Chain A
């Protein structure tokens, strides 16, 4: 993948929190219509990558380019305005509110003006239904409270909402980690659907089995450093798993645990 196709590009970024080097010299690219997976164990620096891309923190070294232009976000609002949306693990959904009220929250469609300005409920419901359907999500009823949805369905609603709100780059923080096998599979389908709509997806996960089928590019992190930034063709799933677990370490562990 050459630089001119990359929508989001990370060049040698580093971040320090006091004496702790959270991230050092990490580079990767995310292209429109492709999925870049950020993999790593706990403490590898995945959350720091998210915080830099979503404008929560500023990198101390290196630069982030959006569509070829270096960006410097003052905060999450800036990143959001530039089209970088983040779906965090808590999803930012209100359980007691209906699916459609959650979906349009903060960007509610209205009709009429002045004191007569009011929520366009029909448009909101319709938008929710069509946007969810466009992502391959079939909800029986957009009037039900979000709290009654399954974990996978909630994740799907949050992803579809970010897409609807105009995300060009979509950052997903461990969207499959709390889910069962079947639901995780469904969420992977939604990630592919977002990708197929031309969105650049950053899929952060610790699970190589989830990353490999959907990813086009893999950034593997360990203790704040990059273990490699590979295109899909360069790695098999086994390679990915081994890299993730620290290759040689896993072999040592296997030897150690092996019955004599």
Chain B
């Protein structure tokens, strides 16, 4: 049967063992146990560089849970006046030391797994974000899904600004980036994406630029463009149009609006989806990139005196749309060329197709890239025209 007929003495031994284990566990204490009220949950993290002192200034936006959770019905609590976050700063030579330096001010250990955004001030970005990335990848707490942003001014300002709808501003920024598809003009980048680009030897990382406006307690922020990096250093930026061009080439454009002049009025096309294929062609040692963009859209607004329910006109609009898209892409390409930043992962495309030749090309890719011939082929399709057939406003001829 069981085979393990348990004699009485063995019970005693088991008992002793269990008692020993219990004693060890209880006297040893609970090493990693940390109650929730001992944690300062970081929602946003900022990094600035003070050139004079050669020191980093770290800013953390820490959540005050009780302030977020206003008890419904109950009139008590802090009321409306209290802020839901607490912004704390620390100054140190390295990021990791600075993170510990928060403890000079904070009664709670700062806790990073729920961090939503990392904002880097422009000065710090120029100096290089490597030290920051090292902390955020080496430490066990942060996650790679955090959004990475560059502040036009200081990161600390961004973290002090208020969000209109959310109680936690950092959470608001993260949601804002999640909804980038509404415009497709935000070049968002999380830690994973940023690192992947950084680790590839030629591709340039990018991150959205965030700008703070207003005064004092009425600070507000908005996304203003895209910051471009070479290695881990900030080298320039793209405006919104160029950002859209970048997203076209990355195949990430979804719901944006393209506005065009048509027949003396403005026409908005709402994009639905897009796809992009990049094919390098090598001939006689010179490389040509063939870019094929497909986009589909609906007519979003028609302020032109034109009836688009006629197929010919729609076809015409289609080609206009293609030209507009091509313009955006070219603007983006032009900027990338001047910045010498391979934002579009052309290098990797070449590497995938010509792995042998790539070993040679890789070394001088920065010289090749600006001269790269790019052939852009845009195909568009207008599917739906909305609810109305003819324009509501028809100008007299």
* Interaction A to B: no
